[in-house]
């Protein structure tokens, strides 16, 4: 049967019972309109870094719209960042978000608890109280500036057997910048964000990890120095993993336009940085691809590079972009991409697979059109990019959660 052939394509990294359960699941559903001879079946993708904006900013995104968009992108598990209102810095505040997830998420949504109260970096959140209900601890959107605060956070997280998931950014080096401090910034008189603002804090945290031994994960790396530092840390035996985003792998600052949909944090870096990230993907320094899906309203993204909000959406375009621009040209294999989107993030964060999968037509070619997104956010730097790969259906926990 053609379906089994497609499943076997990825079976070397998956247990046979998962393969069997997918076969049973497919036979139980009425997918009569899908020609499986032209389809690939992948285990449910896992994104450890998304912003679903609820509670507090539901005009940007909701748990419901974010999870539906994820399902359309082939994702069945996501981890939501804590820059919300209220911030999940206590059991009471976390419960607000958990209740919404239980009521409206169509896929598995795992929240982070914040490291510090209101993410201000001044006093610790209730890490003990939240530990059993969060996937890890992060102040994403802000770097923890105090060395001593990060040291104590690592000690506490290590005792709770939870990872520290770090947005690495040295505030005093930002200097009002909003794009990469490179040729485009100089040519167009923009204020730049230097690479050191990212890698310097990664280097600091690695020294703390050597002292404490905590599970440590670095968010959205974007610089060649970050890749080099993390590669060496892994060789030294540090318990460290990291992610990068699709946009950093296929774009650089030479491709910037005077448009808010090209503004994210960290920014698109140089060609040399992009090439180093690809090398980091190939040699295993970079463990996973995460979208940093960060929706905003149309108004918030309509103010150009300087004044638009930081953040772009990406949960619905991640696989097509990676497949079209990394797999098809032979930069990485399809199985490697599945490792980056499924196997590695689930293993690192202890997220089970269950009977989660998506069905794809990899031959369908189309232009990315934000008007087709299920996410409330439409700002993507990939608008009008030609891609291959259309998700036809997604199944989570044995239920159809998306069908084209």
Residue 217 region, left (φ>0) first, then alpha (ψ -120 to 50), else beta?
A: beta
β-sheet with 240-244: strand ranges across: 164-166, 216-218, 240-244, 288-289
Q: CB-based burial of residue 133 (10 Å sphere; 0-12 exposed, 13-18 middle, 19+ buried)?
A: middle
Instruction: Say whether pLDDT at 18 is over 80.
Output: no
Q: Calculate ∠ Cα 26-20-390, nearest 5°.
A: 45
Q: What is the pLDDT of residue 208?
A: 98
Q: What is the pLDDT of residue 27?
A: 72
* Residue 141 in tokens: 């959107």
What is the mean predicted confidence (pLDDT) over 186-215? Answer: 98
Which tens digits make up the pLDDT trace of 201-256? 999 999 999 999 999 999 999 999 999 999 999 999 999 999 999 999 999 999 99
DSSP string, 138-167: --TTS----HHHHHHHHHHHHHTT--EEE-
Q: What is the 3-state secondary structure (H, E, C) of 28-39?
A: HCCCCCCCHHHC
| Phi and psi angles of residue 173, each rounded to the nearest 5 degrees, phi first | -95, -5
Q: Which CATH number fits domain 44-390: 3.40.50.970, 3.40.50.1820, 1.10.10.10, 3.20.20.140?
A: 3.20.20.140
- Spatial contact of 184 and 190, defined as CB atoms under 8 Å apart: yes
Instruction: Say whether pLDDT at 5 is over 70.
Output: no
Q: What is the pLDDT of residue 14?
A: 64
- The domain segmentation of the chain, as residue ranges, is 44-390
β-sheet with 386-396: strand ranges across: 40-43, 357-367, 386-396, 399-403
Using a pLDDT cut of 70, give the percent of the chain over it: 95
Q: What is the pLDDT of residue 32?
A: 72
- Spatial contact of 116 and 124, defined as CB atoms under 8 Å apart: yes
User: Which helix (DSSP H) or strand (DSSP E) does residue 95 occupy?
Assistant: helix 91-104
Q: What is the pLDDT of residue 16?
A: 64
DSSP string, 201-212: HHHHHHHHHHHH
Instruction: Say whether pLDDT at 304 is over 70.
Output: yes
CB atoms within 10 A of CB 404: 13
Confidence of residue 123 (pLDDT cuts 50, 70, 90): very high
What is the mean predicted confidence (pLDDT) over 5-23? Answer: 59
Between CA 169 and CA 294 the distance in angstroms is: 18
- Spatial contact of 88 and 51, defined as CB atoms under 8 Å apart: no
Confidence of residue 4 (pLDDT cuts 50, 70, 90): very low
Q: Strands 40-43, 357-367: parallel, antiparallel or unpaired by DSSP? A: antiparallel
Count Cα atoms within 13 angstroms, Cβ side, for 97: 31
Q: What is the pLDDT of residue 13?
A: 56
* Residue 22 in tokens: 């997918």
Q: What is the pLDDT of residue 38?
A: 76
| Phi and psi angles of residue 186, each rounded to the nearest 5 degrees, phi first | -65, -45
Between CA 242 and CA 226 the distance in angstroms is: 10
Give the three-class secondary structure for 365: strand
Q: What is the pLDDT of residue 257?
A: 98
Which tens digits make up the pLDDT trace of 310-323? 999 999 999 999 99
Higher per-residue confidence, 246 vs 22? 246
- Spatial contact of 115 and 138, defined as CB atoms under 8 Å apart: yes
Instruction: Say whether pLDDT at 81 is over 60.
Output: yes
Q: What is the pLDDT of residue 224?
A: 98
- Alpha-carbon Rg for the chain, nearest whole angstrom, is 20
Catalytic residue flag (residue 47):
no
Between CA 247 and CA 273 the distance in angstroms is: 12
Confidence of residue 33 (pLDDT cuts 50, 70, 90): confident
What is the mean predicted confidence (pLDDT) over 345-369? Answer: 95
Active-site residue, from 139, 252, 292, 339:
292
Between CA 247 and CA 261 the distance in angstroms is: 11
Confidence of residue 28 (pLDDT cuts 50, 70, 90): confident
User: Which helix (DSSP H) or strand (DSSP E) does residue 18 occupy?
Assistant: helix 16-28
Q: Calculate ∠ Cα 248-208-237, nearest 5°.
A: 75
Q: What is the pLDDT of residue 21?
A: 76
């Amino acid at each position: 049967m053609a379906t089994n052939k497609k499943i076997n394509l990825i079976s070397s990294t998956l247990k046979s019972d998962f393969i069997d359960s997918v076969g049973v699941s497919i036979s139980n559903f009425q997918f009569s309109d899908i020609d499986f001879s032209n389809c690939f079946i992948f285990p449910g993708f896992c994104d450890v870094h998304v912003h679903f904006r609820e509670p507090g900013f539901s005009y940007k995104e909701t748990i419901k719209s974010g999870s539906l968009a994820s399902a359309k992108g082939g994702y069945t598990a996501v981890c939501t960042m804590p820059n919300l209102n209220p911030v999940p810095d206590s059991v009471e505040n976390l419960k607000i978000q958990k209740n919404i997830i239980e009521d409206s998420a169509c896929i598995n949504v795992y929240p982070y608890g914040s490291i510090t109260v209101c993410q201000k970096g001044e006093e610790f959140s209730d890490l003990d109280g939240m530990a059993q209900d969060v996937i890890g601890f992060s102040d994403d959107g802000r770097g923890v500036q105090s060395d001593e605060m990060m040291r104590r956070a690592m000690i506490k997280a290590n005792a709770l057997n939870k990872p520290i998931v770090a947005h690495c950014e040295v505030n005093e080096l930002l200097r009002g910048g909003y794009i990469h401090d490179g040729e485009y910034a100089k040519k167009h008189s923009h204020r730049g964000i230097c690479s050191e603002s990212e890698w310097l804090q990664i280097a600091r945290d690695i020294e703390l990890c050597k002292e404490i031994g905590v599970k440590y994960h670095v968010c959205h790396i974007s610089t060649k120095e970050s890749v080099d530092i993390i590669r060496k840390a892994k060789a030294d035996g540090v318990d460290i993993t990291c992610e990068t985003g699709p946009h950093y792998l296929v774009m650089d600052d030479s491709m910037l336009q005077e448009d808010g949909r090209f503004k994210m944090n960290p920014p698109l870096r140089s060609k040399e940085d992009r090439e180093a990230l690809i090398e980091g993907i190939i040699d295993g320094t970079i463990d996973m691809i995460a979208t940093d899906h960060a929706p905003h309203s149309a108004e918030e993204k309509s103010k150009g590079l300087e004044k638009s909000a930081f953040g772009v959406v990406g949960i619905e375009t991640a696989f097509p972009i990676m497949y079209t621009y990394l797999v098809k040209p032979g930069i990485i294999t399809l199985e490697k991409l599945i490792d980056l989107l499924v196997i590695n993030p689930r293993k690192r964060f202890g997220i089970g697979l269950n009977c989660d999968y998506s069905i794809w037509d990899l031959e369908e070619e189309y232009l990315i059109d934000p008007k087709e997104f299920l996410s409330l956010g439409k700002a993507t730097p990939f608008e009008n990019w030609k891609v291959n790969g259309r998700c036809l259906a997604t199944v989570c926990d044995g239920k159809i959660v998306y069908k084209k």
